[in-house]
Amino acid sequence: MQTQSMQRRLEIEIDAKRLIDELNTLATFSSVEPSVIGTAVTRIVFTPDDLRARTWLKQLAQAEGLSIREDAVGNTFFRWAGSEPGLPAVATGSHIDAIPHAGMYDGTVGVLGGLEAIRTLKRSGLRPRRSIELVLLTSEEPTRFGIGCVGSRLISGTLSPERADALHGAQRGSEDETLAQVRSAAGFTGPLSSVRLPNGHYHAWVELHIEQGPLLEREGIPLGIVTAIAAPAGYRFTIEGIGGHAGALLMPDRRDALCAAAELILSIEKHALATGVIDTVATVGTCDVYPGAVNSVPSRVTLQVDVRDIDPVRREGVMQGVRRDVEAIGKLREVRVSETLVNADQPALSSPHIVAVLDEVCRSYGITPKHMVARAYHDSSFIAGIAPIAMIFIPCRGGVSHRPDEYAAPGDIALGARVLAATLATLAAE
């Protein structure tokens, strides 16, 4: 026997062509490098590419009659008012900023898939009890300001407005800019304290995202339900030695900061592997060498380090091992090593209720989803601080992400949006 909501659910037909066309259009807002392996996208937050993409997205949302609110850091809220607009809304969302030389699906599938879900529900004649809101979250990637999820951290209060506005550029040559300057130049001028949303602001939050891992594709499963999101941590290490002329400064007189950094980088890899657990990962993603001339002995190196685990205690154990090595490297090489904590976050757990709704929706579509851990972090990690959350994963080819050859199949994207639409409709009726 099909209940009325089941019946409606089956009528949800995502316009896959429109969704894929919009993803392809969004990918053009980028300093695209010619790439032989796919559609390379670079879209750093608050750059002209990002701002043009935001304008385009607002036009799409306006065309659907959604109300639009932008907060002081550029988080953008596209709302479809429900019949009881005073109730906490149901929300979905993700990000459109992309790291350099990235792909075109990371984050964007959640934003445009969310828009398509709302558009489809709206055009189906549904009148949701609770409002349904799509959220574009600012600066999910750490590229520009060295810490990820700036917008969702400010919403949930895990990043103070003062610290956020004082964040400096993390890219070489951008050290003098601050978030305060960059956001106001982009037109976002209000106090960051106004970004915070209270606990209970949302009835439920569901984010659609590519898996950024190989499991769904490898197991031939079209959809994943995220039950937990790994705990990321970020550190900055600065190594200071004695540099000078590559020819005249004799080896015994050198305190080569890059050689010391090399030992530190290998120590980070060694201690991540030493846990013997596949969930522990560590990466030194940037290495800035000063003065950066071939015939000058490096006197200062700055490393940005990313360490993750689903167990934050085990993650901290990695760093304790690294710190022991840092002490030895400093002594042996007579260099000064300083460590700055950027972030050390807890894992986020999905709401069992929303997971159950997702399971039921999948069942009604004849899908057996995979319950899984998210190894990448997501804005949902921080929205979890103010609302019950869950995530929908779709397969991405070879598990590849943060590369131009990142790819998600149109059928998988459309199915993800369809399950999202049905889930939003179910939650909005509660």
Instruction: Please report, as ranges, the residues that interact with Mn ion according to CB under 5 A.
Output: 106-107
> Quick count: other Cβ atoms within 10 Å of Cβ 265?
18
Closest to 375 measured CA to CA, from 266, 226, 157: 226
Q: Please check whether residue 23 is in contact with residue 413, taking contact to mean a CB–CB distance below 8 angstroms.
A: yes
Pairing mode of beta strands 89-94, 132-136: parallel
Whole-angstrom distance, CA of residue 155 vs CA of residue 22: 27
Does 148 sit near ligand HGY (CB under 6 A)?
A: yes
Does 140 sit near ligand HGY (CB under 6 A)?
A: yes
From 140-148, 160-168, 184-192, 234-242, span contacting ligand HGY (CB under 6 A): 140-148
In the beta sheet, which residues pair with residue 78? 68, 134
Q: Please check whether residue 264 is in contact with residue 239, taking contact to mean a CB–CB distance below 8 angstroms.
A: yes
Residue 165 binds which of Mn ion, ligand HGY, none (CB < 5-8 A, kind-dependent): none
CB of 367 to ligand HGY, least distance (A): 25
CB of 377 to ligand HGY, least distance (A): 4
Indicate the residue among 82 and 232 with the shorter CB distance to ligand HGY.
232
Closest to 94 measured CA to CA, from 360, 428, 413, 352: 413
Closest residue to ligand HGY in the complex (CB): 376
Indicate the residue among 380 and 423 with the shorter CB distance to ligand HGY.
380
CB of 278 to ligand HGY, least distance (A): 16
Residue 303 binds which of Mn ion, ligand HGY, none (CB < 5-8 A, kind-dependent): none
Whole-angstrom distance, CA of residue 226 vs CA of residue 16: 23
CB of 117 to ligand HGY, least distance (A): 22
Does 192 sit near ligand HGY (CB under 6 A)?
A: no
CB of 36 to ligand HGY, least distance (A): 24
Instruction: Identify the burial level of 294 via C-beta atoms within 10 angstroms of its C-beta, where 0-12 means exposed, 13-18 middle and 19 or more buried.
Output: exposed
In the beta sheet, which residues pair with residue 306? 234, 283
Site string for ligand HGY, 360-389 (x = CB under 6 A): ----------------xx------------
Whole-angstrom distance, CA of residue 123 vs CA of residue 111: 18
Q: Give the interface with ligand HGY as residue ranges (CB under 6 A).
A: 140-141, 148, 376-377
